[in-house]
Structure 1
Amino acid sequence: MMPFSEKLSFLIHLAKTTNKELAAELSVDPSLISLMRTGKRKLFKNPAQTKKMASFFARHCPAAFQRQALSEMLGQSAISSSMPTEVLTECLEKWLQGESTLVGTFLSDLQVLPTKISNLPLSTPTPVPAPKNQTLFFYGEDGRREAIHQVMREIQSMPVPGNVLTVIDDNLEWLLSDYALTKKVRASLTEVMERGFTFYQIMPPLNFINRYTESLQFWLPMYSTGRMKVYYYPRLRGNLYRHSIIVVPGHCVQYAAAVGAGSSSDITMFSTDLQLVNAFEKQFQEHFSLCRPSLTVHKDPADFSPYFFEYLSHSGDSVQASNALSFSSMPRELLEQCIQKECPSVFAPFFRCYLEELPRFEKRLLQYPYIDMCPLASAEAIRSGKVSIASIHDDQLCYTPKTYVLHLKNILRLMDQYENYAFVPLHEKEYPDYDLFAGEGELALIIRTAAPYIILEIRRPAMVIAFREYLMRKADSVGYSGINREKIRMELRSLIQELES
């Protein structure tokens, strides 16, 4: 990974600015910028200053050649002359902070998901479908854009929702480089999914990591509808050709292919010829039969608990990070109290799931490591009655000092009784609206704890490993073994004493 000092020097040269001009923007001494460029000082701890720095460079890089250089350096095709300055600011801010990994980028986008959805443009009138038995050919990137318009018009014109089959593993630069078109296509896709269409998607291979990341970023708002079934091909593939297939059974097909080293397809076909549509549907189904689930999104709370049951009961180590004391460490007495309240929370099924699994969970701690990361609330916040139970944003489910102490004492009991259980208190200024769980190579779960409430069930082994590694590095940066374990015990006892006094 490129160090921050090199990133800063690159941006200063690209923006054709100076240490003095940047320092004036940030209200700091120019010598501080010099120290940053030589690696003697790190990036600001204050996120507001980092955002100001990113905004400064975004405003000073409006030219096409500057955006192209940023696109190549950050590995993001979406960075182009059409990208609004405020969006480029977000990209640069993440890059400066080091959030360039697949997991970091994905989680950052998940955090701002409501904004992505609310910014989608309004729907348009129902279009007229294309003539039947027609085959059209389009050329270059402009042709790809026209072809996707043809597909979307065909889907939007359908009176009854159906299935859409997609394999898109070529370069998305033709789409992402046009910011207005990207928003329009996202809006159209989200709209038809909300109407009841189901999309079956075969994701690109992970060996093209930028392409895979861009695909995740583009589709994330649509994942939140719960109408996408995402799969992957588990074996190695040749890298010579990349292709794109969108099949709307009984209606139309779009097909494009490109040589792997090329930037985009030169020819794109769109057809409503049912023989062609049926042939490509058959080809998709044959490909699909060789694939496995990669990512499934659940919106119904009734669907949540089976996956947590699987996560809790799997053989192997586990690591998780939540933005409140976790279900895993909750004592039986508190779980029973929450169930008896019959709360309307969307997370009510979790309480029953954890209560049922409690004996087996503690039995697993005898064999497998379990790392439990979450923040500790202040005594003042707990006494105010506004600290939610287990990441749940529900005014009816908040801790009292007594129940918080009950939970803390159970954490201490688990630490004393099971060497494999590690509690890691997080001390961060802000906490995201999601909890993250990763088992050893089998399953990762991401749960959004604020609207829109969704659970992402991740099955692709390489992705599970990536999320697990992300969490392990987070735990390692805090420290949880040896003397750190005793320091954590002392911190818990101190908070208990303060709440009981």
Structure 2
Amino acid sequence: MKFAEKLDLLMNITSTSNSVLARNISMDASFISRLRRGVRAPAKNVNYLQVMAAYFARNCRAEYQKTAIWETIKSSAKVQTQETTTMEELIHKWLREEDEDKANSIDKFLTGISHIQFKKNEPAAAVAMEKPDGKAFSEVEVFYGVEGKQNAVLAFLSLVLQSKKPQTLFLYSDEDMGWLSENRMFTSKWSNMLAQVIRNGNKIKIIHTVNRSLDEMLTAIKEWVPMYMTGSIEPYYYPRMRDGLFRRTLFIAPNTAALTSSSVGSRTENAANFLFTDKDTIKAVLGEFNDFLSNCRMLMRIFTPFSNDNYLALLAEFENEQSNAIVKTDSLTNITMPPNVVECILSRIKSPNREQLLSYQLTRIENFLSSLQKYYFTEVISLPEPEKILAGNVVVNFSDMLNDSLIFYKPEEYRQHLLNIIQLLKNYKNYHIHLTRDKHLEGSMLYIREDVGVLLGKTMPPSVVFAFNESNMTVAFWDYMNHLINEKSQSKMNRYRILAELEAMAAKL
């Protein structure tokens, strides 16, 4: 269970309102509401979880309340109930148990993103518009079970591939995804056919299910990355919680066919999957999808070097949000670059918008320095070897988003950038550096603003950046980076040692 679900359960069992809990643990009711809705997650080692546990333990007086909590917590593999002596201790352990799977999921995702190779998909074989018995499809066809769903999906895509006029496909499924991922042969065929659908000029609007496990969610996004790179897909999500009992699949090609199915929980083995080619039925199913879509939000935006203007606008909007921030890239961040170095680097690009880029970057730096007065900014840096800097082989961060090719630091430019970081450390108490010597997550960028959103991407060509503002993913990545910093990097007490190390590097250049 997620923390929000645990808190909601405890509050329902004890008939506790947000305001009552807030008053008893000396916190703001709006913060309790955000915790309860999953908009916020508790940071590590916070004190209020102990106070919460004490409150709930005191208010579980009836046997039915104690039994309900005990049975729920007992199902957790991470809380050893036999070692717990009091209800307060039991609840406290349950509320603060760490979800290591979440960190592992993010690790796998970022590693996968950094190693993506954009291979050319094999052309999808044309699938005849026929049933296995050789007869043409009628206006309604029924396919049963997991294998039936796979056959129905292939039939749906084959019909789309045979359509001569490009259209926008509408896809949604919160059913168990075993039908898609557990048969490699089918998965390969499905992905190749879908890629061919996009190459034929079709667009896709897809509603992702964000109340799946984080691992499922990130795996699904990673699998879709090559197709996202085409710019032909708009991903959405439904922002409210759902219980996941009754589940639905809707695949619609408005000019061609609609595929629908439903199931209870993860029970898809005997479910019926309906393929419609009747125009009135397709129109009705599309209306259902659009009603759902009207309640959804954009899940993420995807940027490549071919859409750099949009990326720069999004980056400016992201950084204008007043919030604490953590950033990790393979090179020094552009936001800490001194103005003279910005001018030197931009003088080497071929863009006719060079002056606008200079003005844009100087405004970013000005806003960054202003935000340091109130909010902290933490930068995770892995310094290259001095020989690599002196040889001019250090890439300017995301320079291919501004230029046709990568731009490299001149040794003096890198030294000036390093000296500027040293001055930031000396002049701004809210600016922090964490030096790391391992190559963990090399090839990826992660930039998070607390309670705002996440920018993550692949740093080497072809660069790609994903922008998320979905609250659960923002919290997950924020907690992940805080854990990474606390586990691998120096504490703030080592600020002077970090300064000394940076100054020693600058002296070698």
Instruction: Return the TM-score normalized by structure 2.
Output: 0.73
Cross-structure match for 2:115: 112
Cross-structure match for 1:286: 291
Q: Residue 381 of structure 2 contacts residue 436 of structure 2 at CA under 8 Å; is this kept in 1?
A: yes
CA separation of 1:399 and 1:212: change in aligned 2, threshold 3 A = closer
SS in 1 for 2:335: coil
Q: Residue 176 of structure 2 contacts residue 266 of structure 2 at CA under 8 Å; is this kept in 1?
A: no
Q: Residue 366 of structure 1 contacts residue 420 of structure 1 at CA under 8 Å; is this kept in 2?
A: yes
For 1:488, the aligned partner's letter is: I
Confirm or deny that 1:162 pairs with 2:167.
Answer: yes
CA separation of 1:217 and 1:325: change in aligned 2, threshold 3 A = closer
Cross-structure match for 1:226: 231
Equivalent of residue 444 in structure 1, options 454, 467, 492 = 454
Q: Residue 326 of structure 2 contacts residue 447 of structure 2 at CA under 8 Å; is this kept in 1?
A: yes
- Cα drift, residue 366 of structure 1: 0.4
Cross-structure match for 1:354: 361
Write the mapping of 1:13-28 to structure 2, written as runs, cut at 5 A.
none
For 1:490, the aligned partner's letter is: A
Write the mapping of 1:4-19 to structure 2, written as runs, cut at 5 A.
none
CA separation of 1:462 and 1:121: change in aligned 2, threshold 3 A = same
Give the whole-Å Cα distance in 1 for the aligned partners of 2:123 and 2:317. 40
Q: Over residues 102-131 of structure 1, what are the superposed CA-to-partner deviations in whole Å (9 max), with x where a residue is unaligned?
A: 3223212212321xx427434334865996
- Cα drift, residue 373 of structure 1: 1.4
Confirm or deny that 1:387 pairs with 2:394.
Answer: yes
Higher deviation after alignment, 267-276 or 441-450: 441-450
Ranked by relative contact order (alpha carbons within 8 Å, sequence separation 6 or more), the top structure is: 2
Higher deviation after alignment, 362-371 or 262-271: 262-271
- Cα drift, residue 320 of structure 1: 0.9
Cross-structure match for 1:434: 444
For 2:489, the aligned partner's letter is: G
Q: Residue 347 of structure 1 contacts residue 392 of structure 1 at CA under 8 Å; is this kept in 2?
A: no
Write the mapping of 1:300-319 to structure 2, written as runs, cut at 5 A.
300-319=307-326
Equivalent of residue 429 in structure 2, options 414, 419, 425 = 419
Higher deviation after alignment, 291-300 or 366-375: 291-300
For 1:368, the aligned partner's letter is: Y
Cross-structure match for 1:468: 478
Give the whole-Å Cα distance in 1 for the aligned partners of 2:144 and 2:189. 21
Count how many residue pairs are aligned between Structure 1 and Structure 2. 401
Equivalent of residue 172 in structure 1, options 155, 171, 177 = 177
- Cα drift, residue 202 of structure 1: 1.1
Equivalent of residue 402 in structure 1, options 404, 408, 412 = 412
CA separation of 1:108 and 1:209: change in aligned 2, threshold 3 A = same
- Cα drift, residue 404 of structure 1: 1.1
- Cα drift, residue 397 of structure 1: 2.1
Q: Over residues 7-50 of structure 1, what are the superposed CA-to-partner deviations in whole Å (9 max), with x where a residue is unaligned?
A: xxxxxxxxxxxxxxxxxxxxxxxxxxxxxxxxxxxxxxxxxxxx
Q: Over residues 416-439 of structure 1, what are the superposed CA-to-partner deviations in whole Å (9 max), with x where a residue is unaligned?
A: 111111122221246532211111
Q: Residue 140 of structure 2 contacts residue 275 of structure 2 at CA under 8 Å; is this kept in 1?
A: yes
Give the whole-Å Cα distance in 2 for the aligned partners of 1:351 and 1:430. 32
Q: Residue 335 of structure 2 contacts residue 364 of structure 2 at CA under 8 Å; is this kept in 1?
A: no
Q: Over residues 159-218 of structure 1, what are the superposed CA-to-partner deviations in whole Å (9 max), with x where a residue is unaligned?
A: 232111111111111221110111121122123223332211111132544543443343
Confirm or deny that 1:497 pairs with 2:507.
Answer: yes
SS in 1 for 2:457: strand
Give the whole-Å Cα distance in 1 for the aligned partners of 2:199 and 2:435. 39
Structure of larger gyration radius? 2
Q: What is the identity percentage for the equivalent residue pairs of Structure 1 and Structure 2?
A: 21
For 1:135, the aligned partner's letter is: V
- Cα drift, residue 99 of structure 1: 8.2
SS in 1 for 2:148: helix
Confirm or deny that 1:101 pairs with 2:108.
Answer: no
Aligned-CA RMSD value: 2.8
Give the whole-Å Cα distance in 2 for the aligned partners of 1:172 and 1:207. 10
Give the whole-Å Cα distance in 1 for the aligned partners of 2:371 and 2:473. 24
Unaligned runs of 5+ in 1: 1-96
Give the whole-Å Cα distance in 1 for the aligned partners of 2:411 and 2:476. 37
Give the whole-Å Cα distance in 2 for the aligned partners of 1:462 and 1:264. 30
Give the whole-Å Cα distance in 1 for the aligned partners of 2:367 and 2:338. 14
Confirm or deny that 1:203 pairs with 2:204.
Answer: no
Give the whole-Å Cα distance in 2 for the aligned partners of 1:173 and 1:319. 36
Give the whole-Å Cα distance in 1 for the aligned partners of 2:167 and 2:208. 20
- Cα drift, residue 445 of structure 1: 0.9
Cross-structure match for 2:3: none
- Cα drift, residue 377 of structure 1: 1.5
Unaligned runs of 5+ in 2: 1-99
Instruction: Return the TM-score normalized by structure 1.
Output: 0.74
Q: Residue 301 of structure 1 contacts residue 349 of structure 1 at CA under 8 Å; is this kept in 2?
A: no
Cross-structure match for 1:369: 376
- Cα drift, residue 323 of structure 1: 0.3
Give the whole-Å Cα distance in 2 for the aligned partners of 1:349 and 1:143. 56
Give the whole-Å Cα distance in 1 for the aligned partners of 2:322 and 2:366. 15
- Cα drift, residue 443 of structure 1: 1.7
CA separation of 1:367 and 1:466: change in aligned 2, threshold 3 A = same
Confirm or deny that 1:479 pairs with 2:489.
Answer: yes
Equivalent of residue 215 in structure 1, options 213, 216, 220 = 220
